[in-house]
Amino acid sequence: MNRNIVCIGAGYIGGPTMAVIAKMNPDRKVMVVDINAERIAAWNSEDYSLPIYEPGLVDVVKEVRGRNLFFSTDIEGAVKECDIIFVGVNTPTKMFGRGAGRASDLQYWEATAREIKRFAECDKIVVEKSTLPVRTAAAMEAILNGGRGEGEEGTKGSGIQFTVLSNPEFLAEGTAIKDLLEPDRVLIGGPQTDAGAKAIQAVVDIYATWVPRERILTTNVWSAELTKLAANAFLAQRVSSINAIAGLCEATGADVDEVARVIGADGRIGPKFLKAGPGFGGSCFKKDVLNLVYLCESFGLHTAAEYWMGVIRMNQHQQERIVSRLFAAMFNTLANKKIALFGFAFKADTGDTRETPAGTVARLLAEEHVRVTITDPKALVNARRDLADLSDVTYEEDEYKAAEGADAIILMTDWRHYPTLDWNRIYDSMRKPALVFDTRNCLAAAELRKIGFRVLNVGK
Ligand code: UDX
Ligand code: ADP
C-alpha cells in the first residue's frame, strides 16, 4: 500500500483540507480531483484565482501546488495512483422523492463509490469526508466490497479489499486554514477489525505530522458519523436558543448581548456560539439537523425528531421576524422603497452564500415589492446566481453607492470593515428618515443615532 492521497471533490472541504495535508506531509503526493473541469482550472489558475475564498488558503496553495499537491480531472488516474482515497463530494439536502427536504441526496456520493470500485487495481482505504447520514459507510462498504456483477464495467478481478473509514471535517468556513492547522480534535472512525485498525493507523499517521496525538480521537464508524451530525446540531441549537431569547429581549427591554455575556460566563455553558443574529446559514447546519430529524423519524423517535426540527423552525422564524420588524418600523409599507443589504455571505470572511439568511430576507423583501440592492465584498457572484429569478434586485460592490437614495440598510453579514465605514457620508446620501437594521449588533448604535439614523438591533 502506497502513501499517496487523493481527494475526490475539490470543494470547500476537499480543497483546503488537502492543501493543508500536503503542506504538513511534504513527502506524500496529494491529489485533488473533480468532475467539474472549470473548478479544477480555477484551482490551477496561474494568478491563484481559486474557486473559493478562504483567508490564508492562497498562501498554502502557493507553497504546495506543483510541489506535492496536484489538481486534476483525471479521476481514474488518481484512484489508480493513490491508495488512500478521501471522498469530499457534495451531499445536499434531497429535494425530491423519499425524504425530500430532509434526507441527504447521496447520488454524487454513490457515483463516486462506483468510480472508485471501477478504477481500483489494488487494496484501498476509502475515507468519508463529506457529512453523511449515519450508516452510509456500510452502504459504501457494500458497494465497494460487493461482488462485481456480470457485465459491470471495468471488472478487474476480485480480491481487492476496501476499508471504509469516517473522518468528518469540523472546519468552519472563514477560519478553515486555522481550524485545519490547529484543530480541537481530529476524529477517525473505523471498523473494529485488524484491517480497520491498520487503516485507522494509516490515516492517524497523516494527521500526526502536525496534530498532537491526544487530539486525534478514534471511534467506531457509526460513532464518527453520528458525532458530526450531533456536533453541528448542538451548535445550531445554541444559535436558535439565543435567537429565541432575542425575541423576548426585544419585547421586554432586556439586551440579548448582555444576557449572552452573563450566560456565557458560566463555565459549564461557555461563551461561544451565543451571538444573536439573523439566524444560521451555511451548507452544514440546516442540512445536518435535517439529517438528524430524518434519522430520528426513520427509527420511530418522533419526539426527538420534533425537538431538532424546532431548531430549524426557530431559525426560519428569525428571518421572518427581521422583515416583520422592519415593516412595522417603516410605516407598514415597503413597496417601492429602496433597501440596501450590507452583506450577503452567510457569515464574514467567506464568499459562500449557501442557506444564507440574507437570501431569505432578500426574497421576503422582493415579495413586498422592495427595490433591493445588495453589496458584499466577496459574495456578489454567488448572490447574482442565487437570486437570478428576482428582477428588482441590483448588485453594487461599493457600499456607499449601494446606500445612495436608500430608505433603509439591513446589515446582514458581520464583515469587519462595516463598522469603520463613513456613516455620516452614508446618512447624507440616504432618503430620510434613514434607518439601519443591524442584525449582527456590530455597529455603534449610539453613534448612528447621533448622526440621525433610526436604528434597529436584534434582541434589544
Ligand atoms: C459549521 C461548524 O462550525 C463546523 O464545525 C462544521 O464543520 C461546518 O459547519 P460553518 O457553517 O462554516 O461551520 O460556520 P459557523 O461559524 O459554524 O457559523 C454557522 C452560522 O451560524 C453562520 O451563519 C453564523 O453567522 C451563525 N452564528 C454562529 C450565529 O448566528 N451566532 C453565533 O454565535 C455563531
Ligand atoms: P463541500 O462543501 O462538501 O466541499 P462542494 O459542493 O463545495 O461541497 O464540493 C463538492 C465537489 O464534489 C464539487 O466540486 C463537485 O463537482 C464534486 N463532485 C461531485 N460528484 C463528483 C464525482 N462523482 N466525482 C468527482 N467529483 C465530484
Mean pLDDT of 344-364: 96
| Residue 454 and residue 364 in one domain | yes
Q: Is 280 in the pocket of ligand 1 (CB under 6 A)?
A: yes
- Confirm or reject: Cβ of 17 under 6 Å from ligand 2: no
- Looking at every residue in the chain, the average pLDDT score rounds to 94
The predicted model gives 122-126 an average pLDDT of 96
Among 135, 154, 140, 75, smallest CA distance to 110 is for 140
Same domain flag for 36 and 151: yes
Least confident window among 67-71, 72-76, 156-160, 238-242: 156-160
* Assigned domain for 135 exists: yes
Q: Determine the Cα–Cα distance for residues 157 and 118; give it in Å rounded to an integer.
A: 11
CB contact set of 323 (below 8 Å; sequence gap of 6+)? 361, 364, 365, 368
Q: Residue 347: CB within 6 Å of ligand 1?
A: yes
Classify residue 326: in a domain, yes or no.
yes
What are 69-93's pLDDT values in tens digits? Answer: 999 999 999 999 999 999 999 888 7
Report how far ligand 2's centroid is from the alpha carbon of 458 (Å). 36
pLDDT-derived band at 151, boundaries 50, 70, 90: very low
Residue 133 pLDDT > 80: no
* Sheet with 30-33, side-by-side order of all strands: 69-72, 30-33, 5-8, 84-87, 124-128, 162-166, 186-189, 216-219
pLDDT band at 147 (very low <50, low <70, confident <90, very high): low
pLDDT band at 453 (very low <50, low <70, confident <90, very high): very high
pLDDT average, residue stretch 386-411: 97
135 plus 203 within the same structural domain? yes
- The model carries a pTM of 0.91
Cis bond leading into 433, ω under 30°? yes
> Max CA-CA distance within the chain?
77
Q: What is the pLDDT of residues 402-450, one digit of tens each?
A: 999 999 999 999 999 999 999 999 999 999 999 999 999 999 999 999 9
Q: Do 281 and 344 sit in the same domain of this protein?
A: yes
Query: Does 245 fall in a domain?
Result: no
| 168 and 263 belong to one structural domain | no
| CA 108 to centroid of ligand 2, rounded, Å | 8
**Ligand that comes closest to the CA of residue 79:** 2
Helix (H), strand (E) at residue 219: strand 216-219
Residue 155 has pLDDT above 70, yes or no: no
Residues 266 and 203 in one domain: no
Has 284 been annotated as catalytic?
Answer: yes
Q: How far apart are CA 454 and CA 441, in angstroms?
A: 14
Asked if 276 and 215 sit in the same domain, the reply is no
Of 219, 234, 267, the position where a domain reaches its end is 219
280 CA to centre of ligand 1 in angstroms: 7
Measure the CA–CA gap between 11 and 13, rounded to whole angstroms.
5
- Is the CB of 228 within 6 Å of ligand 1? no
Q: What is the pLDDT of residues 173-214, one digit of tens each?
A: 889 999 999 999 999 999 999 999 999 999 999 999 999 999
Which-ligand-closest: CA of 132?
2
Domain count for the chain: 2
pLDDT band at 150 (very low <50, low <70, confident <90, very high): very low
Indicate whether 141 and 261 sit together in one domain.
no
The answer to whether position 150 is within a domain reads: yes
User: Which residue, judged by its Cα, is nearest atom 21 of ligand 1?
Assistant: 280
Pick the last residue of a domain from 219, 242, 274: 219
What pLDDT score was predicted for residue 149? 45
Domain annotation covers residue 80: yes
pLDDT at 148: 52
| Residue with CA nearest ligand 2 atom 20 | 108
Shared domain for 121 and 266, answered yes or no, is no
pLDDT at residue number 154: 40
User: Is 283's C-beta closer than 6 angstroms to any atom of ligand 2?
Assistant: yes
- 210 CA from centroid of ligand 2 (Å): 27
Angle at 129 between CA 237 and CA 80, to 5 degrees: 170
Nearest CA to ligand 1 atom 33: 273
**End residue of a domain, out of 219, 238, 264:** 219
Inside any domain, residue 99: yes
For residues 17 and 181, give the distance between their C-alpha atoms in angstroms, rounded to a whole number.
10
* Cell numbers given for 57: 488558503
* Nearest CA owner, ligand 1 atom 26: 280
Residue 156: per-residue pLDDT: 46
| 112 close to ligand 2 (CB < 6 Angstrom) | yes
Residues 191 and 290 in one domain: no
Catalytic residue (one of 82, 249, 284, 296): 284
pLDDT at 157 over 70: no
- In this structure, is residue 349 part of a structural domain? yes
Cα of 277 vs centre of ligand 1, distance in Å, is 12
Strand partners, 410: 341, 437
Q: Give the model's pLDDT for residue 383.
A: 98
Q: What is the CATH number of the domain that holds 44?
A: 3.40.50.720
pLDDT of residue 90: 86
β strands within 105-197, DSSP E: 124-128, 162-166, 186-189
> Position of cell 469526508?
129
Q: What spacing in Å lies between the alpha carbon of 274 and ligand 1's midpoint?
A: 11
Do residues 136 and 276 share a domain? no
Predicted confidence (pLDDT) per residue in 30-49, tens digit = 999 999 999 999 999 999 99
Residues 59 and 205 in one domain: yes
Instruction: Confirm or reject: Cβ of 88 under 6 Å from ligand 2.
Output: yes
96, pLDDT greater than 60: yes
- Residue spans of beta strands (DSSP E) within 277-420: 338-342, 371-375, 393-395, 408-411
Domain span including residue 21 = 5-219
Assess whether the C-beta atom of 34 lies below 6 angstroms from ligand 2: yes
Cα-Cα end-to-end distance for the chain: 60
Q: Does residue 246 form part of some domain?
A: no
